[in-house]
Amino acid sequence: MGTSPAHIFEFGEFRLDGTTRVLTRRDGAAVPLTPKAFDTLVYMVGHAGRVLQKDELMRAVWPDTAVEENNLNQNISMLRRVLGEERGEHRFIATVPGRGYQFVAKVRVSTDQARHRERAEDVSIAVLPFVNLDGTPHSEYFGDGLAEELINALSKLERVRVVARTSAFSFKGRPVDVRDIADRLGVNHVLEGSVRKSGSRLRVTAQLVSAADGYHLWAERYEREIEVRDIFDVQDEITLAVLDALQVKLVGGERSAVLKRHTHDPKALELYLKGRFHLFRMTPAGIDAGMLYLQQAIQADPSFALAQAGLAHAYRMFALTLEMPPGEVLPKARAAAEKAIALDGSLAEAHAVLAFNIFWREWNWSASEDHFQRALALNPNSADTRWMHAHLYSNTGRHEEALGEIAHARELDPLSGLIHAMEGQFLLHAGRTDAAVARLREALELDPSSRVAHLFSASTDIETARFADAVAEARSARALSAGDTHAIALEAYASARLGRVAESRAQLEELLRLSKTRYVPPYHIAIVYDGLEESAEALTWLERGFAQRDPKMTFVGVEPRWKKLRRHPRFVRLLKQMNLVPVEG
């Protein structure tokens, strides 16, 4: 017909694929056409803007058959109907009296070869949380969990850039066009879908959307009701279909890695997804609930290594977020991480959480580095592993490496308030205070309720002598977590530097009183004494922190507030005992 079948035409809300001979709408729905009506449309679109004589059209569509003009007229009428033209309307096809027809809509042309080259060179994707169609909050975990499982599977391929969970989930519940989402996340594809869960039954839909034009590259509706146990098969089908649509070929052991099942017990998987859902709320109640579900998942399937890794993270959050005694909970975190590795030595998440636990509790920097490197070798696309690894670098004075690693994490998770906040902290440690202020401002724009961003902003304000601002930031952090002793310590420090010594001492007494009934990191009490310029007491509490293996002691070598003590013999001895390199200044 004079038009390459390899061409793909895009016009209005339609896409015409000459290779597959399919006309689709933007939502992926196929538009039914008879073969000759399809040929008519292909020829007209391929010669858009040109007035086509009726004889020319008939020769192109019926090259070896003599037909009446009425056949062509019927095809034109069908095309106008399926394209949605009203009577007398000519958005797509115009009649030119006495001559023929003209395709008048603006047409974009691409080729499969060009599309394949684009995908091969730059394949990136964001997986959005699957919309919960039940309308019941207790089922919400399932749509989130399915998306997270797909993120984890796709991220196993180093040549596919997969946006991390935090950024992809930041659009949850918001009516944002997928092309805008793709633009914010810097990806060229978006996977979205929905789930409906009723008892032991599921319905799942999924569609892969091109960021360039909003058209669907692939869509599937699992209209049949399926048993919960079959969700494993659905995950595999979606993963393979997406990779096929992206024209990513699996080689070597990639297929087994991508389709790896961490448990074959559907109940254990459901409990694990619930656990992760609650942990990501980052609240005391959420962490408690998440730990309970993860423990139940392990009871359902004792060989479930991923649940053990999740449990290790929960214990770590107990120690660092909820300020529970680290001597009690961090050994449990290590035990869970080691159990996960014993069950599955190729589990990147297990090596990452063990590395982070060693960093916080044991201060064995080389052992922590070894496990981080193993985790990154197994999954280089993990934003979580990248920012945790950057933490090790930053706190041990390897600032350039820390900033490189956290930048990589931000690329993978560009809208994560946590990662922006961590980068702000690491910039402060590296002596780049102005850059730290800017990055922390961005962190709070992304997540105004980020407790850590407020804490790190308070530290930055202290370094720049904006003590009133530091008090305000510390109070904001405390409002988000009433029992946060770090916030109390920073407010007391800033109050002392403002000359409000009585307020500072009252806050110090509050911390000392709390320490008699619950765990308070000695490092935080040392901060207040330093603000009051009582160096001997500050050093005494730092030494207590060392003796108790307070995780916050990992900051002692890099936080700028200790610069006046860095040459003190007791402080130098602490650094040597922790195998930390003294920071100049």
Domain boundary among 94, 112, 130: 112
Give me Rg for the CA atoms of the chain. Answer: 30
**Under a CB-based contact definition with an 8 Å cutoff, are residues 501 and 492 in contact?**
no
Residues 235 and 267 in one domain: no
CB-CB contact of 296 with 269 (8 Å): no
| Runs of H (alpha helix) within 449-568 | 451-463, 467-480, 485-497, 501-514, 522-531, 535-548
Which one-letter amino acid corresponds to residue 556? V
Q: Is 484 helix (H, G, I), strand (E, B) or coil?
A: coil
Does residue 104 share a domain with residue 200? no
- pLDDT at residue number 526: 98
Q: How many CB atoms lie within 10 A of CB 287?
A: 22
Which has the closest alpha carbon to 523: 499, 560, 553, 559? 553
Our CA angle for 7, 13, 14, nearest 5°, is 35
- Considering the domain architecture, whether residues 132 and 247 belong to the same structural domain is answered as yes
Beta bridge partner(s), residue 131: 194
CATH number of the domain to which 42 belongs: 1.10.10.10
Collect the ranges in the chain with pLDDT lower than 70: 1-7, 19, 27, 110-121, 138, 199-200, 223-230, 582-585
Q: Which of 335, 350, 378 is the last residue of a domain?
A: 378
**Does 271 lie in the same domain as 223?**
no
Kindly state whether residues 368 and 475 are assigned to the same domain.
no
Expressed as residue numbers, the domain containing 127 is 122-260
Least Cα distance to 164 among 417, 415, 464, 346 occurs for: 415
* Residue 171 is assigned to a structural domain of this protein: yes
- The 8-class DSSP code of residue 378 comes to H
The two tokens of residue 557 are 């070598």
Distance CA 403, CA 423 (A): 7
User: Sheet of 14-17: strands edge to edge?
Assistant: 22-25, 14-17, 7-11, 108-111
- Determine the distance from the C-alpha atom of residue 95 to the mean position of all C-alpha atoms in its chain, rounded to a whole number: 51
Question: For residue 237, what are the CA distances in angstroms to 137, 195, 244, 259?
Answer: 27, 15, 10, 9
Whether residue 79 is contained in a domain is answered as yes
Segment 312-348, tens digit of pLDDT: 999 999 888 888 999 999 999 999 999 999 999 999 9
Residue 192 placed within a domain: yes
Q: How far apart are alpha carbons 340 and 334 in whole angstroms?
A: 10
Note whether 134 and 202 are same-domain residues: yes
Instruction: Say if CB 435 and CB 427 are below 8 A apart.
Output: yes
The pTM of the full predicted model, rounded to 2 decimals, is: 0.75
Is 241 within the bounds of a domain? yes
pLDDT at 108: 79
The reply to whether 222 and 161 lie within a common domain is yes
| Alpha-helical segments (H) within 83-218 | 112-121, 140-154, 165-169, 178-185
User: Do residue 255 and residue 315 come from a single domain?
Assistant: no
**For residue 534, what is the domain's CATH number?**
1.25.40
Shared domain for 367 and 353, answered yes or no, is yes
Torsion angles phi and psi, residue 237, rounded to 5:
-60, -45
Does residue 224 fall inside a structural domain?
Answer: yes
The reply to whether 308 and 253 lie within a common domain is: no
Give the DSSP letter of residue 362: I
CB-based contacts of 153, cutoff 8 Å, min separation 6 = 235, 239, 258, 259, 260
Phi–psi pair at 172, nearest 5 degrees: -60, 130
Q: How many angstroms separate the CA atoms of 424 and 452, rounded?
A: 10
- Report the alpha-carbon distance of residue 310 to residue 70 in Å, rounded: 68
Residue 386 within a domain:
no
* Rounded distance between C-alpha atoms, residue 195 and residue 193, angstroms: 7
Give yes or no for a contact between 336 and 350, defined as CB atoms under 8 angstroms apart. Answer: no
Question: What CATH number is associated with residue 201?
Answer: 3.40.50.10070
Is the same domain home to 130 and 256? yes
> So what's the pLDDT on residue 65?
79
CATH number for position 339: 1.25.40.10
Domain boundary among 201, 229, 260: 260
Q: What is the DSSP letter of 473?
A: H
Q: For 234-275, how does the pLDDT look when each residue is reduced to its tens digit (9 = 90+)? A: 888 889 989 988 888 888 788 888 888 888 888 898 899 899
Taking alpha carbons only, the member of 300, 293, 294 closest to residue 312 is 294
Are 12 and 91 a contacting pair, CB within 8 Å? yes
Q: Does an H or E element contain 100, and which?
A: strand 100-103
Structural domains counted in the chain = 4
363: left (phi over 0), alpha (psi -120 to 50) or beta: left
